[in-house]
A and B are shown apart, each in its own frame.
Chain A
Amino acid sequence: MGLRPDVPDDSSLLLKQFFYLSVILNAGPAGQYSLTDMETHDVPQQPARRNFIKKTCAVFVGAVTGLVPAISGLIVFLDPLRRKSQDGDAVLVASLSSLPADGVPRKFSVIASHTDAWNRMPHVPVGAVYLRRIGDEQVQAFNVICPHAGCFVDYDLSNKSYHCPCHNSSFALDGRIADPKSPSPRGLDELDVDLRNGNEIWVKFQNFRAGDKEKIPA
């Protein structure tokens, strides 16, 4: 028993009750006491061989019984592993005339239909993009999410670069890493752009896995 004192035999009923309960709960002062004052009886033992078979059966049946509900829950819990991200269609984001001719990027929300597990929602914000002109009829689009850890990247007008406020990654106007000390493993994620009807900017909006050198769809 070491340093653990036994409960004195004359301990009050209340103390004993508390002691028994704390033993059941395996909490509180139970560890300080032994269970020597528990009622024990000398029970005639059955042959060891018969006992072994019974014990094995009890453990096996008990394990099977307990595992069925636990495993059914676990399979449901693991269900998200087989879900893939939605492959977004091109979305009308802005008009060409709303972009400055000097190539300064502008941020636009991407409004699209979105399936969020059990709810389908039409016309909700699903993300944002930076758009900038790179010619009279050409537009470049970047996902605003930092490829390092997923923060929202700001555009710093004075430095003409993108800057992530979380871990100081910085990106040039063309999306490449501007500062070699940037923790981001890759430049900003460029998105496919389609100019339609002369003035409509359609972007194929996608999110990509953060923290990876390669651009892998999330």
Chain B
Amino acid sequence: MDRLLNWLDRRTGYRRIIEYALYENIPGGARWRYIWGSTLVFCLSVQFITGLFLWMSYSPSSQTAWESVYYIQNEMTCGWLLRGIHHFTASVMNVLLVLHLMQVVIDGAYKAPREINFWFGLGLLLLVLALSLTGYLLPWDQKGYWATKVATNIMAIAPVVGPALQRLVIGGADYGHHTLTRFFALHAGVLPACVVALLVWHIFLFRRHGITAKDPKRKPDEYFWPDQVLNDAVACLAVLAAVLFLVLRPWLFHTGEDLGAELAAPADPSETYSAARPEWYFLCWA
């Protein structure tokens, strides 16, 4: 086994990379207050994994989007669980983003020389919000349809470029196939690519400057592995438990709702929908 690993190491240098990843210095030792960034990376990984699997059964057109989401939700084995995890992880992620931002502000991690990384962080925050907004439409149900209509009409009010921007985003004058294909390309292609690019720089700059240690230091310095990794893993488990709780809530409390994420009636421009609201984390803007 050792010989095989040595062979691999000579060709890939993987030991150095693992060493670099795990033996980061944590001034003052592992602390629970350093977990937020890791929980967000975890959430993002969950969204990538569940999103890819959802992609395999999703069909972005106004004739098939709702039908395929209904099929995932009600016909496929554990489809409700997969969709529920994706939906509620998005919600939990928005809470964690705020907590991460609060920690950065409280600990002064935005100060020199970490300003650029702070800007990258703000960019990532906006990208995650954009992912939430674009994902909301994809089931093509009444809720997503009317909420997105309001959002894109607000966009059209923007001076000078507003109407043109709205047409570009919804793919013409009316909502339909082209709106879905564009939103899907944004949600599953453009935005994730931007997130990955920014996140690589975010983590790179984080490692360059190191963690913003909280004074006074309570313990001697430690490596990231194993103490902080254990803290981070437990925090991610707690995040997952919260997501699973939200997914299973109707079953736990016998509320009579569908397990997992809600799927409203199919989008219908001729039917009124009284609750044309965005997801809860956008309500402060609406």
Contact = CB atoms under 8 A, between A and B. Distances in A.
Contacts of A74: 53
Given A23-B20, A39-B25, A43-B25, A73 B49 contact: yes
Contacts of B56: 76-77
A79 B76 contact: yes
Nearest to A40: B23
A68 to B, nearest CB: 6
Contact of B42 (A44, A55, A65): A65
Given A21-B204, A35-B20, A118 B64 contact: yes
A23 B19 CA distance: 11
Interface residues on B, range: 35 or more
Majority secondary structure, B binding face: helix
B207 interface: yes
B12 interface: yes
A2 interface: yes
Majority secondary structure, A binding face: helix
B229 A23 contact: no
Contact of A43 (B19, B68, B210, B220): B220
Interface of B: 10, 12-13, 16-17, 19-20, 23, 25, 42, 45-46, 49-50, 52-54, 56-57, 59, 63-64, 67-68, 70-72, 75-79, 81-82, 85, 89, 200-201, 203-204, 207-208, 210, 220-223, 225-227, 229-230, 233-234, 236-237, 240, 244
6 contacts: A66-B45, A68-B244, A74-B53, A76-B78, A77-B53, A118-B68
Interface of A: 2, 4, 17, 20-21, 23-26, 30-31, 34-35, 38-41, 43-44, 46, 51, 54-55, 57-58, 61-62, 64-66, 68-70, 72-79, 82, 117-119
